[in-house]
Amino acid sequence: MGISLFTASWVTALLAFCAWVSILLLGRNRMFRGTVVERANIYCLETLPANVNRLMRAGISDAFVQKAEGVWIALFGRRNPVFQIFAIVLYFLGLSVFMTQAAPAIPNRYVGGWQWITIALTLAVNMGSYAVACVVDPGYVDAGNVDRACSLFELDGLLYSENAVCRTCHLRKPARSKHCSACGRCIQMMDHHCMWLNNCIGLNNARWFLAFLASFSAVCIYGTYLFATVVLELRHVRGLTHAMVQDELTGEMVPLSFKTSILYLLDENVLLAIIMVLLLILTPAIAIFTVYQLRIASLGYTGNEEIKWLNVADDIKDEVLFVVNEGSEQEAYAVIEKEDQQADLRPKRLVTDLAQVANKYHRGIWENLRFILLASSSGSKPHVD
Ligand SMILES: [Zn+2]
Ligand SMILES: [Zn+2]
């Protein structure tokens, strides 16, 4: 008794699919900068399409190539609901497997009937926060609110320079904002554009995004626990706890091992097995991403600023970041390339350590989190020292 070739092949296919989605989803995350995950992402999203493009140009008409490029841009470069629909369909497929395969075995000897209340609450919070994060205006900057948006945070002169204007929106760039090419707008306190939500994550929906991530982690952990109790319950119901099997080598009757009984049940209930494998892969990935997002939020960074800080660290390592005296005691940060440093006669000192450049937007862990929970583009101006 063991795992059949059929089960082994779909588990392999599922693992390969999850790895591919993870590379697409997380490859450009600053967590994976310089790692094999980022290189795989660049290969999938840049090198491979460029090679395919070259091959296509060699044998296929220009009109077809243009059409294919158009589809690619529409999918990955513009706001569109394809990945959102895909995520929602997967979510409800998982939920229907739960309702058909697991729900009939709840309550069981491990889970009381009262847990249907906590199951319903967890799912409601998760779906509710997802829906709100998807539909809320993330903090678009427009002509009507640009002045208020610019007064929300002071420019720090390092990540955000004076007098910056968005080349697309032709509006002043508020501190901590970024232009999103998919949305075609500048977003206040921009974190990133999330294709799974088909929306930007910014000032107005960061709290809903964090609530969604935290509750989705809870759904995955709770779901794994519930499915595990159902498999253990099935082991009792099917009488596998005291089953005897013939030993292939000695021919003697021996008790069925715990591991073999679980593998037998999973091989027999393919849907249950698929969802268990999916949950085992998804749960740590979602939990790590949630902790990561909470960590940068509590340290006063947005996802976009995390990348900017990595660039500042690179500038410091390359010895090109200076504090320059602009005259009348006015100091400012400036990146001066090696070849221009001698010709630049302004009084300046080299920044040699990241500790010498403070994050102006870090106001203490609790204050940072409180601001994300309560902030809104129409809300009160936060105090920045
Ligand atoms: Zn813009
Ligand atoms: Zn966007």
Q: To the nearest whole percent, how much of the chain has pLDDT over 90?
A: 52
Cβ-proximal residues to 345 (8 Å cutoff; 6+ apart), any chain: none
**Helix, strand or coil, per DSSP, at residue 325:** strand
Of 316, 318, 384, nearest to 355 (Cα)? 316
Closest-lying ligand to the alpha carbon of 172? Answer: 1
30: confidence class by pLDDT, cuts 50, 70, 90: low
Is 180 catalytic? The answer is no
Q: How far is the CA of 195 from the centre of ligand 2 (A)?
A: 8
List the shell of residues around ion ligand 1, using CB closer than 5 Å.
166, 168-169, 179, 186
Predicted local confidence at residue 37, as pLDDT? 83
Asked whether the beta carbons of 169 and 158 are under 8 A apart, the reply is: no
Whole-angstrom Cα distance, residue 174 to residue 186? 9
383: confidence class by pLDDT, cuts 50, 70, 90: very low
Kindly state the tokens that stand for 4: 């059949």
Predicted local confidence at residue 121, as pLDDT? 97
Closest-lying ligand to the alpha carbon of 141? Answer: 1
Average pLDDT value over all residues in the chain:
88
Catalytic annotation, pick one of 150, 180, 194, 200: 194
Q: How far is the CA of 178 from the centre of ligand 2 (A)?
A: 9
Q: How far is the CA of 218 from the centre of ligand 2 (A)?
A: 27
CA 65 to chain centre: 31
Q: How far is the CA of 142 from the centre of ligand 2 (A)?
A: 14
| pLDDT, tens digit (0-9, with 9 covering 90-100), for 305-318 | 988 998 999 999 99
Q: How far is the CA of 195 from the centre of ligand 1 (A)?
A: 19
Whole-angstrom Cα distance, residue 220 to residue 208? 18
Closest-lying ligand to the alpha carbon of 182? Answer: 2
Predicted local confidence at residue 344, as pLDDT? 86
| pLDDT, tens digit (0-9, with 9 covering 90-100), for 111-147 | 999 999 999 999 999 999 999 999 999 999 999 999 9
Q: How far is the CA of 79 from the centre of ligand 1 (A)?
A: 15
Q: How far is the CA of 79 from the centre of ligand 2 (A)?
A: 7
Whole-angstrom Cα distance, residue 99 to residue 106? 10
384: confidence class by pLDDT, cuts 50, 70, 90: very low
Closest-lying ligand to the alpha carbon of 198? Answer: 2
**Helix, strand or coil, per DSSP, at residue 139:** coil
| pLDDT, tens digit (0-9, with 9 covering 90-100), for 252-292 | 888 888 988 998 888 888 888 888 888 988 899 899 999 99
How is the chain split into domains, by residue range? 1-76, 80-300, 305-358
- What counts of helices (H) and strands (E) characterise the chain? 12, 10
